[in-house]
Amino acid sequence: MKLCAQDAGNWAFTNPAIPPVSRTFRAVAHLRVGLMSIYIVRLGAPRRPGEGLRLGTVRRPPRGVPKTDFAKRDYYDVWFPNLSPSAALVKEALGATDHRAWAAFSRKFRREMSEPSPTRELDVLAALSHQTNLSLGCYCEDESRCHRSVLRELLAERGADVV
């Protein structure tokens, strides 16, 4: 498959339903053609080449890890809880066992992200995605049941180049 800059907006490359292997291919292709992106990652997972500054969009820092080791252990470079769900909403997300409950969480999280401060922060990140590589992450194993999936959508809606 041939990739060009025009493919950056292709839904197959931004859709979280597409297998991560395809997103990994896209990330490598971005490095080759020099495009900038926001990578959506699992905190604590090994960093990818060119991933850029890693922002931890989590409510709490990792337990039992000294602050000086957050970046060394591939958690995050900067803690950015502003883009994490409220404590009550985190509890609701952890209890979401079916599609209906997850959809309710997504609607409520989008509502929280529509407040002025998070809206401006998402706008800044979307603009930065065209200038430099960044990554946003959370600890959840399954992105499809994590607020990262909603952040991915919100950033893409703002024109961010999201991998």
Per-residue pLDDT tens over the stretch 40-85: 999 999 999 989 999 999 999 999 999 999 999 999 999 999 999 9
Per-residue pLDDT tens over the stretch 86-97: 999 999 999 999
**Would you say residue 148 lies in a domain?**
yes
**Would you say residue 9 lies in a domain?**
yes
Residue 141 is part of which domain span?
Answer: 5-157
**Would you say residue 162 lies in a domain?**
no
How many other C-beta atoms lie within 10 A of the C-beta of residue 143?
Answer: 19
**Would you say residue 163 lies in a domain?**
no
Total domain count, the chain? 1
Tell me the mean pLDDT in the region 33-44.
84
Which amino acid, one-letter code, is at 64? G
| Residue 10 clears pLDDT 50, i.e. is over it | no
**Would you say residue 125 lies in a domain?**
yes
Stated pTM of the model: 0.79
**Would you say residue 47 lies in a domain?**
yes
Q: How far apart are CA 113 and CA 85, in angstroms?
A: 8
**Would you say residue 146 lies in a domain?**
yes
Higher pLDDT, 43 or 24: 43
Per-residue pLDDT tens over the stretch 127-144: 999 999 999 999 999 999
